[in-house]
A = this chain, B = another copy of it.
Amino acid sequence: MSVDVLEEVFSPKSVAVVGASGNPATWGYSYTAHLLDYGFRGKIYPVNPRYSEILGIKSYPSLLDVPGSVDYVISCVPAGEVLNMLSACSQRNVKVVHLYTARFSETGRQEAAELEQQILKQAREYGIRLIGPNCMGIYCPRAGLSFGYDLPKESGSVGMVSQTGGGASGFVHMASFRGIRFSKVVSYGNALDFNESDYLDYFAGDSETKIILMYVEGVKDGKRFFDTLRKAASAKPVIITKGGRGKSGTRVAASHTASLAGFIKTWEALVVQAGAIPVRNFDEMADIAVSFYFLPPVLGSRVGVVGGGGGPSVLSADECEEIGLDVIPLPQEIRQELKGKGIQIWDWVGNPIDVSIIGGFGFTDIDMLQMMAANDNFDLLIANVNEGVIVTLSRQEGMTARLQSAVDGYMNIKKQSSKPLLTIVGEKSLGRGDLGHWSTELVSETRTRLIEVGIPFYPTIGRAANAAKKLLDYYTRRR
């Protein structure tokens, strides 16, 4: 039932923005602008008695004046006007209203909580379903719906259910820089009507969604939630962040979305038991999401690590092991192969491969990676492009050639081998003077090429190792 209604939410033929505005500083403006910018192909009806036109489209004084049928309403009116708006929605047979409108139970005030309950009661009487209140609603690039400027206009296979709107929007933006594209994202706020279980249930069955991400602060019905989670996790990977884990977090979560937060350990145990993957923040969520998005299954812990000179390669090994991966010694077959090729340091090179020692011996880190890819002792590979290595250690020409041939090498390995290959392309805190530097451009070019060929990158070895281990645990449990 909820699933059917939600299916329509993601494919509306007409949308009204009630409380639309011509003032670019308002969300009534932004939601209207997004419909235009993201190419919504149905009818768009801005509603506001103070405008006859908004962004070049005719604006209507009231929902009752809109000429056609309205599938979906985005409400940007103040809290006190919602009951009247619902009445108009009812007269126009609107099925779903997204209440961007806030200042309800999340304020902790009794009269606001009471108004929220009245709204729910009236919506139920009218047969209108609600998304929110106090949320950013839907981002669905295929449908032309968005809640942010500059989010990707292309669709992908990641779905997201998020109690927080700012967090969802920030996440979509950040994850898009790592190559992820989304099927549908819903920010649901106070979950007055549709709640986290309804959305999760929908995404579990949605054929456009291959990976589900969730951010929740609290759940309305624990049993139903974990039952739904188990069902969803049996169909596809589900990655969950719980917000409001501590004393003060609980306090804030209560004010933010009026829900009580549980205790994190029990929570994480239940999430794992249901077959889903708990993560602690949005960075970790992005790492795991990008791994499922791009990688084949991780089926063992034996990792080959290539790249990084000296100390960074030592630390690579430490961080992989501390996470629970197994940095095995270089297999004898590879040593013999190196020896057979006349590589003088055949007995010295190890795993991780310290690139600072291999120069001038007639083989490269990519050659080593290829040997590891072909060797049965390795379950997965990590190639460090530039963590702990300054790109400007060499001059532009040399470094450009090196990074280009590295990406070519990774591409070949990806084609020839079914082993997961994770790459490390470090971030740096660029200032004004560094933005136009060739090394910045080279690193950006490298990232873009990696995304284009479907090879995920991570900012640090530690984060790549963590992602690989979480995938390994996931696939191990499923076998």
A183 at the interface (CB under 8 A from B): no
Chain B CB within 10 Å — which of A177, A309, A318 has the most? A318
Enumerate A228-253 residues with CB–CB distance to B below 8 Å.
241, 243-249, 251-253
Which of B148, B327, B345, B434 contacts A107, CB < 8 Å?
B345
> Are the C-beta atoms of B281 and A429 separated by less than 8 Å?
no
Of B243, B322, B389, B393, which contacts A311 at CB under 8 A? B243
**A217 at interface, CB cutoff 8 A:** yes
Stoichiometry, copies per complex: 2
Instruction: Provide the bound-state CA to CA distance between A357 and B163, in Å.
Output: 15
**Docked CA distance A311–B462 (Å):** 25
Chain B residue with minimal CB distance to A435?
Answer: B444
- Scan residues 254-281 of chain A and give those whose CB is less than 8 A from a CB of chain B: 255-257, 280-281
Q: Mark A309-333, 1 if CB is under 8 A from B, else 0.
A: 1111111011111100001110000
Q: Is there contact, CB below 8 Å, between B393 and A428?
A: no
**How far, in whole Å, are A350 and B107 apart by their CA atoms in the complex?**
11
Q: Does A352 contact B (CB under 8 A)?
A: yes
Give the CA-CA distance A226 to B149 in the complex, in Å.
55
Residues of B within 8 A of A315 (CB): 167, 241, 243, 249, 281-282
**Residue A457 lies at the interface, judged by CB distance under 8 Å to chain B:** yes
Which B residues are CB-close (under 8 A) to A460? 281, 283
Nearest neighbor of A387 in chain B, beta-carbon distance: B170
Find A395's partner among B149, B217, B308, B462 (CB 8 Å cutoff). B149
The distance in angstroms between the C-alpha atoms of A460 and B284, with both chains bound, is 12
CB distance from A293 to the nearest CB of B (A): 14
In the bound complex, what is the Cα–Cα distance between A434 and B189 (angstroms)? 30
* Given A392-B173, A428-B177, A430-B447: A249 touches B317 (CB 8 Å cut-off): yes
Q: Is A441 among interface residues, defined by CB-CB distance under 8 A?
A: yes
Whether A427 pairs with B425 at a CB distance below 8 angstroms is: no
- Contact A169:B107 (CB < 8 A) given known A248-B317, A430-B177, A457-B429: no
Is A342 in contact with chain B by the CB < 8 A criterion? Answer: no
CB distance from A467 to the nearest CB of B (A): 14
Other 15 A-B pairs with CB < 8 A, given A167-B388, A248-B328, A248-B352: A166-B309, A166-B356, A167-B311, A170-B388, A241-B315, A243-B314, A246-B321, A246-B322, A248-B321, A248-B329, A249-B314, A425-B429, A430-B447, A431-B447, A435-B440
Contact of A25 (CB < 8 Å), options: B24, B150, B313, B398: B398
In angstroms, Cα B256 to Cα A317, docked, is 13
Query: What residues on B are CB-neighbors of A251 within 8 Å?
Result: 317, 329, 350
Flag if A166 contacts B256 (CB, 8 Å). Answer: no
Contact of A312 among B167, B244, B389 (CB under 8 A): B167
Interface set, chain A 441-458, CB cutoff 8 A to B: 441, 443-445, 447-448, 451, 457
**Cβ of A76 to closest chain B Cβ, rounded Å:** 13
Cross-chain contact of A243 among B172, B178, B318 (Cβ < 8 A):
B318
Nearest-CB distance from A398 to chain B (Å)?
A: 6
Q: State whether A245 touches B318 (Cβ < 8 A).
A: yes
Is the beta-carbon distance between A256 and B431 smaller than 8 angstroms? no
A427 touches B167 (CB 8 A): no
A433 within 8 A of B: yes
Partner of A244 from B24, B308, B314 at Cβ < 8 Å: B314
CA distance A311 to B149 in the complex (A): 19
Which chain B positions have C-beta within 8 A of A170?
312, 387-390, 393
- Residue of B at shortest CB range from A313? B252
Residues of B within 8 A of A133 (CB): none
